[in-house]
């Protein structure tokens, strides 16, 4: 799993399984708008959840969620606004992060951070 994209794909697959187990409905994966990409758009009751997945093989350089910068957050907001308008949706919107990293035993730990950042 040396390739960066393979690791990202693997992380997204883990995140989707994790969310589906918690009864989230996956609406879209890798939604692109202009320069933005939303890893996962999910729904739980009347909330639309934008999920940014961060996967790392090590946390030596920081936690996966620490790599989400304000510019990325702006792009996510733009993209979900477009998605909502295009699909004429009326939902509460929440931004979550799923941080995945390999622990000392070589097993991937999943941390789900709900309402990871405020978007207004």
Burial class (CB in 10 A: 0-12, 13-18, 19+), 15: buried
pLDDT at 8: 86
Reference 10, options 57, 48, 44; nearest CA is 57
Q: Residue for token digits 């994209």? A: 5
pLDDT in tens, 62-80: 777 777 888 999 999 999 9
Mean predicted lDDT score pLDDT of the chain: 90
Residue 104 token pair: 């000392």
Look up residue 59 and give its DSSP letter: -
The mean per-residue pLDDT over the stretch 83-97 comes to 95
The C-alpha atoms of residue 101 and residue 88 are separated, in whole angstroms, by 36
State the pLDDT confidence band at 120, using cuts at 50, 70 and 90: very low
Domain residue ranges in the chain = 4-113
In CATH, 4-113 is 2.40.70.10: no
Predicted TM-score of the model (pTM): 0.89
């Amino acid at each position: 799993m040396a390739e960066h994209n393979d690791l990202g794909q693997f992380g997204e697959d883990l995140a989707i399984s994790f969310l589906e187990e918690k009864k989230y409905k996956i609406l879209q994966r890798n939604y692109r708008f202009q320069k933005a990409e939303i890893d996962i758009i999910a729904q739980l009751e009347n909330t639309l959840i934008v999920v940014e997945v961060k996967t790392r093989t090590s946390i030596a350089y920081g936690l996966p969620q620490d790599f989400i910068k304000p510019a990325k957050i702006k792009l996510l907001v733009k993209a979900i606004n477009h998605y909502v308008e295009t699909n004429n949706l009326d939902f509460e919107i929440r931004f979550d992060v799923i941080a995945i990293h390999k622990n000392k035993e070589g097993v991937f730990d999943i941390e789900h951070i709900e309402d990871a950042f405020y978007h207004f």
